[in-house]
Amino acid sequence: MSDIKYWVGFTLVPGIGRVKFSLMEQHFGSLETAWYASASELQAAGLDNRSVEAIMAKRSAISLDAEMEKLERFKVKAHTWKDEEYPSLLKEIYDLPPVLYVRGTLAPEDAVSVAVVGTRRPTYYGRETAEQIAGDLARNRVTIVSGLARGIDATAHHAALEAGGRTIAVFGCGLDIVYPGDHAKLARQIMECGALISEFPLGTRPRADNFPRRNRIMSGLSLGVLVIEARERSGALITAQWALEQNRDVFAVPGSVLSPSSRGTNRLIQEGAKLVSDYYDILEELNLTFAAQQGTLLLETVPTTETESLIIQHLSSEPTHIDEVGRQCGLPIATVSSTLAVMELKGMVRQVGGMNYTVARETRAEYRVRVE
């Protein structure tokens, strides 16, 4: 993309996120034109005074060429939400990051991903469980997504690497800063067998308020989120909440009622999360078991065309007749019929009789996580 440096430039301006990127792109046609716009022109695009002031103050201090050279020096790629390389699952969430910074490689098979999160101080039980389940998922070609934190995150990354699988670490800072610092070696290993990603530009320090936003990317990249050991006020519960809002599955490993580290996960199960005792429970819930038995996972379990994406938005766990799907989507019945047939073969939808269809994976939208 010829105007990528302008996308990068706007990520350096505080307070410029998805909504304001959209306003500028729609009004000016390109981010390059927006970058050189006057204050009054930015206001005409719909930006509030505070955002306009931030752009005007920051713009003159930013060297776009220097920023691009820095990205090249750290071997970081910047993908906008318009790029093919931008993860398809992440494009589905409401608050998607306009720019995604990547060190390493994103691959098509990362469309089959599960986020594994939990406490930074796991018990022996939690560590062993995370190692076993994450490793088994990776051996079944499921990409493991986590946050590089100490504890369950690091255990899940290590298990995926030892299983010869792929793993993605999502940062709450710029990709030129490894946090925590003692995970620098792990970060290098992940780059070789996956990717480090962040929405934050280079130079962004790790701050407490960055990590809840980081968590929405972890869940957004994944088909589901697995929580292993979480206290009642754990950050892992924030990731579970994001997953629910993004219509992702939530899984939890049960623990001792006497252990403070399991109170959060046990409560998730009480509120409707899928209880997990091994990796197969996750594959079964995500409708990946048949593919796993054949030794390969079907990447087509997520929409791969605009028509599939449109149709899946109008299906739920309740049966919907094919004629109603056609009316809601505004598509010819022949197109709907042929697409549904393909989606059924892929394991995305089920026909439940009388030309009625449901999604293959039940959602967990009926419960909500209480984060105190």
Compute the distance between CA of residue 341 and CA of residue 320 in angstroms, rounded to an integer: 15
The answer to whether position 91 is within a domain reads no
- Would you tell me the crossing angle of helices 333-346 and 306-313 to the nearest 10 degrees? 90
pLDDT at position 344, please?
81
Cβ–Cβ under 8 Å, residues 198 and 167 = no
pLDDT at position 351, please?
84
The answer to whether position 34 is within a domain reads yes
CATH number assigned to the domain comprising residue 213: 3.40.50.450
Residues 154 and 247 in one domain: yes
Residues 119 and 235 in one domain: yes
pLDDT at position 354, please?
82
The answer to whether position 235 is within a domain reads yes
Residues 56 and 163 in one domain: no
Residues 134 and 267 in one domain: yes
Residue 294 C-alpha from the chain's centroid: 27
The answer to whether position 145 is within a domain reads yes
Phi, psi of 211 (to 5 degrees): -75, -35
Compute the distance between CA of residue 136 and CA of residue 145 in angstroms, rounded to an integer: 14
Give residue 171's domain range.
Answer: 104-293
Compute the distance between CA of residue 345 and CA of residue 196 in angstroms, rounded to an integer: 33
Query: Which residues of the chain are modeled with pLDDT < 50?
Result: 290, 298-300, 362-372
Residues 243 and 165 in one domain: yes
CATH number assigned to the domain comprising residue 45: 1.10.150
The answer to whether position 84 is within a domain reads no
Cβ–Cβ under 8 Å, residues 183 and 148 = yes
**Pairing of β 320-321 and β 356-359:** antiparallel
Q: Total domain count for the chain?
A: 3
Residues 63 and 206 in one domain: no
Contacting residues for 152 by C-beta, under 8 A, at least 6 apart: 116, 117, 118, 119, 120, 122, 126, 127, 130, 146, 228, 229, 236
The answer to whether position 286 is within a domain reads yes
The answer to whether position 96 is within a domain reads no
Residues 285 and 355 in one domain: no
Compute the distance between CA of residue 190 and CA of residue 194 in angstroms, rounded to an integer: 5
Contacting residues for 24 by C-beta, under 8 A, at least 6 apart: 10, 31, 34, 42, 45, 47
Residues 195 and 227 in one domain: yes
CATH number assigned to the domain comprising residue 333: 1.10.10.10
pLDDT at position 298, please?
45
Compute the distance between CA of residue 192 and CA of residue 42 in angstroms, rounded to an integer: 42
Compute the distance between CA of residue 251 and CA of residue 151 in angstroms, rounded to an integer: 18
In three-state form (DSSP H/G/I as H, E/B as E, the rest C), the secondary structure along the chain is CCCHHHHHHHHCCCCCCHHHHHHHHHHHCCHHHHHCCCHHHHHHCCCCHHHHHHHHHHHCCCCHHHHHHHHHHCCCEEEECCCCCCCCCHHHCCCCCCEEEEEECCCHHHHCEEEEEECCCCCHHHHHHHHHHHHHHHHCCCEEEECCCCCHHHHHHHHHHHCCCCEEEECCCCCCCCCCHHHHHHHHHHHHCEEEEECCCCCCCCCCCHHHHHHHHHHHCCCEEEEECCCCCCHHHHHHHHHHHCCCEEEECCCCCCCHHHHHHHHHHHCCCEECCCHHHHHHHCCCHHHHHCCCCCHHHCCCCHHHHHHHHCCCCCCEEHHHHHHHHCCCHHHHHHHHHHHHHHCCEEECCCCEEEECCCCCCCCCCCCC
Q: What is the pLDDT of residues 109-136, one digit of tens each?
A: 999 999 999 999 999 999 999 999 999 9
Phi, psi of 363 (to 5 degrees): -90, 170
Residues 327 and 270 in one domain: no
Residues 43 and 118 in one domain: no
Please say which residue of 249, 264, 293 terminates a domain: 293
Residues 268 and 223 in one domain: yes
Residues 165 and 43 in one domain: no
Angle, alpha carbons 77-81-83 (nearest 5°): 60
Please say which residue of 20, 42, 67 terminates a domain: 67
The answer to whether position 77 is within a domain reads no
Please say which residue of 253, 270, 293 terminates a domain: 293
If you search the block for the tokens 């003159």, which residue do you land on? 60
